């Protein structure tokens, strides 16, 4: 019955009428039932993730009264969901201040909500995908991008639109996403969500310390034994720790996906241009991009796999930096495709170079 109501909405049904019929027929549902309904519509091909994204605000509109009656999750301080909800509370407070009196400083502060979204994308969504629940990473990521696009308008930003969208997302998180995630994920899953959050950072808050996962070994890897064997490389020998250090100290960021489109590695450089965290390892690369750009990812991979192309390049300007992004097909000695290497570099300073510098010019 839930699916029938949503399909009728997508066919142009009246929201008020559908909400009235929902209240008469079903009266009350919990978050997991709504989440399962949207996931089922995607899985069976009745609706695409893009179609659900366009009307997801109206979906919640049908169920809003029922969802609002349920209490928000009460979680121990330090648990990822507790931290997410702390950030939501700060966001709501900033929105109240903005509506009372606009200021560019408040807008800039509110924009830190993007860190919250990045943690969801890199840490929580991969675990939900492992549990067969792909809807959030497809639908909510698109909404995250819409909010980021609004922030990029800077002086011309539509304050009412961006604050409303953030409020709507916090409602969806606390009434649908988080209750569903708590129902689906194990203690081990939540330990993996927590592991790596610091690499991305937090919006405004510092996580508590009361929550201790049942499986601490998923957070703290045992101390690595001293390496005695060297890796025999084609042009030399290196220990595993040396390889790790070299990759970390490269003046570029690299990521590698294998021949099955699975993320296998990223270089954990001190100051990354694009955030990464351990949650992306083992994830399909298509799920690491918003839905609107997945077709570009698939296009690159297709021509790499069929041998028509060996590289692709893009360049963008972000936060005053000129970013150069390149993709390279990785092939073995027989020319067989083994994966794709992504290389990202801040070339702002390089583009400004002129003339020559042949002598050392360190400053004291």
We report the CATH number of the domain holding residue 311 as 3.30.450.20
Helix H, strand E, coil C: the string for 86-126 is HHHHHHHHHHHHHHHCCCHHHHHHHCCHHHHHHHHHHHHHH
The reported pLDDT for the residue numbered 133 is 84
Contact 177, 140 (CB under 8 A): yes
239 and 347 together in one domain = yes
* 93 is a domain residue: yes
Contact 85, 174 (CB under 8 A): yes
Query: What's the total number of domains in the chain?
Result: 3
Domain that holds residue 333: 231-351
* 56 is a domain residue: yes
* 62 is a domain residue: yes
Output the tens digit of pLDDT for each of the chain's 364 residues. Answer: 777 777 776 777 776 776 666 666 655 666 667 677 777 777 788 776 666 666 555 556 555 655 555 566 778 899 999 999 999 999 999 999 999 998 999 999 999 999 999 999 999 999 998 888 887 677 888 889 999 999 998 878 999 999 999 998 998 898 888 988 998 898 889 988 998 898 899 999 999 888 877 654 434 444 443 444 677 788 888 888 888 899 989 999 999 999 999 999 999 887 788 888 888 899 999 988 888 889 999 999 999 999 999 999 999 998 889 999 999 999 998 899 999 999 999 999 999 999 988 888 877 6
192's tokens: 């993996």
Write the CATH number for 167: 1.20.120.520
**By three-state DSSP, how is residue 347 classified?**
coil
262 and 326 together in one domain = yes
Dihedral sign from CA coordinates of 193, 136, 273, 231: positive
159 and 236 together in one domain = no
* 213 is a domain residue: no
Cα–Cα dist 152/45, whole Å? 34
CA angle 107, 111, 112 (to 5 degrees): 130
Phi, psi of 327, deg, nearest 5: -120, 135
294 and 330 together in one domain = yes
34 and 14 together in one domain = yes
* 267 is a domain residue: yes
What residues form DSSP beta bridges with 258?
Answer: 339
Cα–Cα dist 178/172, whole Å? 9
The reported pLDDT for the residue numbered 110 is 97
Question: For residue 84, what are the contacts with CB-CB under 8 A and spacing of at least 6?
Answer: 116, 119, 120, 173, 178
Cα–Cα dist 296/300, whole Å? 6
139 and 85 together in one domain = yes
* 146 is a domain residue: yes
Cα Rg of the chain, angstroms: 23
Contact 113, 150 (CB under 8 A): no
64's tokens: 């809003």
Say if residue 112 is exposed, middle or buried (CB neighbours under 10 Å; 0-12, 13-18, 19+).
Answer: middle
195 and 248 together in one domain = no
- Residue (of 24, 17, 18, 16) closest to 3 by Cα position: 18
What residues form DSSP beta bridges with 341?
Answer: 256, 328
Cα torsion for 35, 37, 41, 44, to the nearest 10°? 110
What residues form DSSP beta bridges with 340?
Answer: 257, 329
41 and 86 together in one domain = no
The reported pLDDT for the residue numbered 57 is 58
* 101 is a domain residue: yes
Domain boundary among 155, 180, 200: 200
* 362 is a domain residue: no
40 and 136 together in one domain = no
Domain boundary among 177, 200, 223: 200
189 and 274 together in one domain = no
Residue labelled with tokens 């390892």: 281
329 and 235 together in one domain = yes
103 and 196 together in one domain = yes
The reported pLDDT for the residue numbered 303 is 97
The reported pLDDT for the residue numbered 341 is 97
């Amino acid at each position: 019955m839930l699916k029938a109501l949503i399909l009728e909405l997508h066919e142009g049904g009246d929201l008020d009428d559908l909400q009235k019929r929902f209240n008469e027929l079903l009266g009350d549902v919990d978050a997991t039932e709504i989440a399962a309904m949207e996931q089922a519509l995607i899985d069976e091909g009745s609706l695409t993730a893009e179609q659900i994204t366009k009307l997801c605000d109206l979906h919640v509109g049908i169920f809003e009264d029922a969802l609002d009656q349920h209490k928000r999750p009460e979680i121990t301080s330090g648990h990822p969901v507790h931290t997410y909800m702390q950030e939501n509370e700060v966001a709501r407070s900033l929105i109240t201040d903005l509506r009372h009196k606009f200021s560019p400083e408040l807008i800039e502060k509110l924009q830190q909500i993007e860190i919250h979204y990045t943690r969801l994308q890199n840490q929580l969504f991969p675990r939900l995908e492992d549990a067969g629940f792909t809807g959030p990473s497809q639908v909510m990521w698109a909404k995250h991008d819409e909010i980021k696009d609004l922030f990029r308008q800077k002086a011309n930003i539509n304050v009412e639109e961006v604050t409303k969208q953030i409020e709507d997302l916090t409602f969806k998180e606390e009434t649908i996403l988080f209750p569903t995630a708590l129902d689906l994920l194990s203690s081990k899953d939540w330990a993996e969500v927590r592991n790596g959050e610091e690499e991305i950072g937090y919006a405004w808050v510092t996580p508590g310390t009361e929550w201790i996962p049942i499986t601490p070994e998923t957070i703290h890897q045992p101390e690595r034994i001293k390496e005695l064997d060297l890796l025999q490389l084609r042009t030399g020998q290196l220990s595993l720790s040396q390889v790790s250090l070299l990759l970390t100290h490269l003046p570029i960021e690299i990521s590698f996906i294998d021949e099955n489109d699975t993320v296998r590695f990223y270089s954990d450089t001190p100051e990354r241009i694009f955030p990464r965290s351990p949650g992306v390892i083992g994830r399909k690369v298509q799920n690491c991009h918003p839905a609107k750009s997945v077709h570009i990812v698939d296009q690159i991979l297709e021509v790499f796999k069929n041998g028509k192309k060996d590289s692709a390049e893009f360049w963008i300007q972000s936060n005053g930096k000129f970013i150069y992004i390149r993709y390279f097909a990785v092939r073995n000695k027989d020319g067989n495709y083994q994966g794709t290497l992504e290389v990202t570099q801040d070339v702002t300073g390089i583009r400004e170079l002129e003339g020559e510098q042949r002598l050392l010019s360190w400053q004291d």
